């Protein structure tokens, strides 16, 4: 829903807007009998069957539960980021990289994700600049070395983005602040990729399902099964590696089949 042009989902040779793709998926689900409630889950009780799902004062009971709440890219938290999101600001190189062919872009972050994004974007861009808030990079030695050896990639250390600059339609640059000197610098760019990590939407499940240190739900290898029998997980809430619409859809299929078979066995 927060992506503009989606060009890497099967079946749409000309691409499709993210909200339009979601609308088509929703209509397809409804056609086959799915009932959709636009509500926010506040609490779950997975201690006994049937499971209890609380939505404010309301409560739902279910024998099987599929968690498909996704993950959100961590953001910088500045107003101009929201203003230009989808207009030059992105958090997915594999989704939006081809749109920045022959342009100069920046990647914000210092971990493996930032190095991976930068190397991928260098296939399309004329220049990629990695911006990190310190001189120390969290990336592994091999990933950092790979980025440093790429002739299209350069580095700016000890800097944070104070503001994203642009006209009414597109990004034209960023304002950087040197964290050591306090000095401000404007850098021209046509694209800003935020690569400071993702946060899975699993807060409401803490202590109830096995998760990793970040909050991604841990699945039994090759399945959608979680640490609680009858609870299944799919998509980005349980995927810290791929995070693509097509892989999320595929694991959604796996979760549906696993849930159906589990119910039949019961």
* Whole-number Å distance between alpha carbons of 51 and 209: 13
- 96 catalytic? Reply is yes
Q: Of these residues, 23, 82, 96, 234, which one is catalytic?
A: 96
How many C-beta atoms lie closer than 10 Å to residue 114's C-beta?
Answer: 27
Q: Of these residues, 95, 234, 236, 258, which one is catalytic?
A: 95
Q: Of these residues, 20, 23, 82, 92, which one is catalytic?
A: 92
DSSP code, position 117: H
- Do the bridges between strand 51-55 and strand 58-62 make them parallel or antiparallel, or are there none, so unpaired? antiparallel
Any residues with CB less than 8 A from the CB of 149 and at least 6 apart, and which? none
* β-pair partners for 59: 54
- 258 catalytic? Reply is no
Cα dihedral value 36, 38, 39, 40, nearest 10: 100
- 92 catalytic? Reply is yes
| Tokens of residue 116, six digits | 């991976």
- Active-site residue numbers? 92, 95-96
């Amino acid at each position: 829903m927060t992506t503009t042009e989606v060009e890497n989902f099967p079946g749409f040779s000309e691409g499709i807007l993210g909200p339009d793709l979601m609308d088509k998926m929703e209509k397809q689900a409804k056609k086959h009998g799915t009932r959709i409630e636009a509500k926010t889950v506040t609490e779950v009780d997975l201690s006994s069957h049937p499971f209890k799902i609380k939505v404010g004062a309301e409560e739902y009971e279910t024998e099987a539960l599929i968690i498909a709440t996704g993950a959100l890219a961590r953001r910088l938290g500045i107003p101009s980021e929201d203003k230009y999101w989808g207009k030059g600001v992105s958090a997915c190189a594999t989704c939006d990289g081809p749109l920045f062919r022959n342009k100069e872009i920046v990647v914000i972050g210092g971990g493996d994700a930032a190095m991976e994004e930068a190397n991928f974007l260098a296939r399309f861009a004329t220049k990629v600049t990695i911006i990190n808030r310190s001189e120390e990079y969290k990336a592994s030695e091999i990933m950092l070395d790979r980025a440093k050896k790429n002739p299209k990639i350069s580095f700016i250390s000890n800097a944070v983005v104070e503001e994203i600059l642009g006209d009414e339609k597109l990004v034209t640059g960023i304002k950087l602040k040197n964290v050591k000197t306090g000095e401000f610098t404007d850098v021209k760019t046509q694209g800003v990729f935020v690569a400071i990590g993702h946060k899975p939407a699993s807060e409401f499940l803490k202590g109830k399902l096995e998760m990793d240190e970040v909050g991604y739900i841990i699945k039994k290898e090759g399945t959608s099964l979680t640490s609680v029998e009858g609870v299944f997980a799919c998509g980005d809430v349980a995927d810290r590696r791929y995070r693509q619409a097509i892989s999320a859809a595929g694991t959604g299929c796996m979760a549906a089949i696993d849930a159906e078979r589990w119910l039949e066995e019961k």
